[in-house]
Structure 1
Amino acid sequence: MRAASRRRTGPTRPEVTMPAEAQSTFYNLLHADDSRDPAAEADVLLRIIRARRPHATSLLDVACGAGDHLRHLLPYLAVAEGVAVDAAMAGAARGALPGTTIHEAALPELDLGRRYDVVTCLHDALAQFPLSGYHAVLRVLARHLAPGGLIMIAPFWMPDAAIRRTASEALTRGDDGRAVTRIERGVPRDGAHRVEHHALVADGDGVRHVADTRLLRAFGRREHLSALAAAGCAADFLPAGLAGRPLLIGVRR
């Protein structure tokens, strides 16, 4: 995750600067989506795997975050590994899932030297690439699939839904006494979606402000299917396939 740049806007609004490592520590708080249920989504994935590749024994979860989905998939596969896109997130995933293999790699350079029955990417990591980069990364992911293997991608919101999602907010309280107020704002810009995440985190050490801004691309159904076909995968698009959210399923030829 890339730390957002900061600037002081006035003497009455001091900014709290946090290093990238600290930002990643608060990744789940900053990017939490209370409408998602990782356990339910993992159950959907397992049902699809059993139906379409019943003898699957290995899975690679790409851009695995802190391992929210991976922890629910681990008990059902002989090999279940994750890929984190930076050192801080790799550390967070390894801390959450001790003993699990978590690779650290930028997605365009990913080369693990082996193939898996299933590759998943369930966060917005792929939406950070323009269409040409999206095609390139899908080719990289497809190269990690065994023939007949499944690739499952939960894309960023589809174009019309992304435009409607202009702002949202949430307040959560943890059992540890920590309170978090989150606000998200999205603005269409140059064919993409500029998404700003802010969080105020209050605990015994004080109140901290964490922020992150990303430019995300909301590709349409045809663009997704074309990209998977170019990567050598026959593909389906399920508009509500992942517990009510869009899901792309490719089969490696």
Structure 2
Amino acid sequence: MYENKSQAELYDRLYQDRKDYDAEAAEVTGFVRDRKKGASSLLDVACGTGIHLAAFAKRFDRVAGLDMSESMAAIASERLGGVPVHEGDMRAFDLGETFDAVVCMFSSIGYLRTVEDLESAVRAMTGHLVQDGVLAIEPWYFPDTFIPGYVSTHAFKQEGQGISRVSHSTREGTLTRMEIHYVVADSEEGITHRSEIDYLTLFSREEYVNAFHKAGLDVEYVETAGGRPGFFLGTRR
């Protein structure tokens, strides 16, 4: 999805203006410590450019990240200095260590295509939890909560540069097809445009719950404010 560092940096600037990463990390930290008192280590799977991970690093003694994108992992590594950021596929990874908490934020799990992929990812993440550790996954929307034809817009300006993003989402079977266009106006480079089409799977609540149970987790779903899709929270038995 983000083929080079410049595209990842565009993503970074845009979403830092749209999302309160620190508040979201604080919320998830609360979810984790409500279920495992004193949790002090955390792995962020699909950590992207590491903005959530940096916020978690303020709240946990030991953190690490994992991302499939080489360019995003490189930015995360630069942002976090000595924090380990690994390249890897969430469906099949083994870091050789365990954590009190494993998180997967920003609906990244939705980029998986099949129930088998979902179950493999949950199983791999669970394998990196200590006993009584907590897995927190922010899902994509569900088949009954997705809004066909949904339009999203965002624009902001910083010194010498303006960035806008528009998206249009439709449904194709169990997939969301999200067409996204970015326009960047730069004082030196002029105006550039890029677009992408993302597909995210509309897994059902039952499919998430079954994946957690198959991995040996007790699971609950909690709703969150602001139109976000909530969290599945699992505790390793």
The alignment's TM-score, normalised by the length of structure 1, stands at 0.85
Matches within 5 A, 1:120-131: 120-129=103-112, 130-131=114-115
Unaligned runs of 5+ in 2: none
Cα RMSD for the two superposed structures: 2.1
Partner of residue 136, structure 1: 120
Contact 1:30/1:211, CA 8 A, preserved across alignment: no
Q: 1:222 to 1:241 in 2, by over 3 A?
A: farther
Greater alpha carbon shift after TM alignment, 157-166 vs 64-73: 157-166
Q: Give 1:30 deviation, angstroms.
A: 6.0
How far apart in 2 are the matches of 1:126 and 1:132? 12
Partner of residue 110, structure 1: 93
Q: 1:29 to 1:210 in 2, by over 3 A?
A: farther
Partner of residue 73, structure 2: 90
- Aligned pair partner of 1:153 in 110, 127, 137: 137
Matched, 1:179 2:172: no
Matched residues, number: 235
Partner of residue 221, structure 2: 237
SS in 2 for 1:163: coil
Q: Which amino acid aligns with 2:57?
A: L
Partner of residue 217, structure 1: 201
Q: Which amino acid aligns with 2:150?
A: T
Contact 1:171/1:179, CA 8 A, preserved across alignment: yes
How far apart in 1 are the matches of 2:224 and 2:204? 14
Partner of residue 82, structure 2: 99
Unaligned runs of 5+ in 1: 4-19
Partner of residue 208, structure 1: 192
Partner of residue 49, structure 1: 32
Q: Give 1:33 deviation, angstroms.
A: 7.7
How far apart in 2 are the matches of 1:201 and 1:104? 29
Q: Which amino acid aligns with 1:84?
A: D
Q: Give 1:57 deviation, angstroms.
A: 1.5
Q: Which amino acid aligns with 1:169?
A: T
How far apart in 1 are the matches of 2:131 and 2:22? 28
Q: 1:230 to 1:33 in 2, by over 3 A?
A: farther
For the pair shown, the structure with the greater C-alpha radius of gyration is 1
Contact 2:143/2:174, CA 8 A, preserved across alignment: no
Contact 1:31/1:197, CA 8 A, preserved across alignment: no
Q: Give 1:242 deviation, angstroms.
A: 8.9
Partner of residue 37, structure 1: 20
Contact 2:45/2:104, CA 8 A, preserved across alignment: yes
- Aligned pair partner of 2:11 in 21, 24, 27: 27
SS in 1 for 2:206: helix
SS in 1 for 2:103: strand
The alignment's TM-score, normalised by the length of structure 2, stands at 0.91
Q: 1:124 to 1:80 in 2, by over 3 A?
A: same
Partner of residue 11, structure 1: none
SS in 2 for 1:161: coil
Q: Deviations over 1:4-55 (max 9, x none)?
A: xxxxxxxxxxxxxxxx343223223566682x32111111112222221112
Q: Which amino acid aligns with 1:156?
A: W
Q: Give 1:160 deviation, angstroms.
A: 2.8
Q: Give 1:77 deviation, angstroms.
A: 1.4
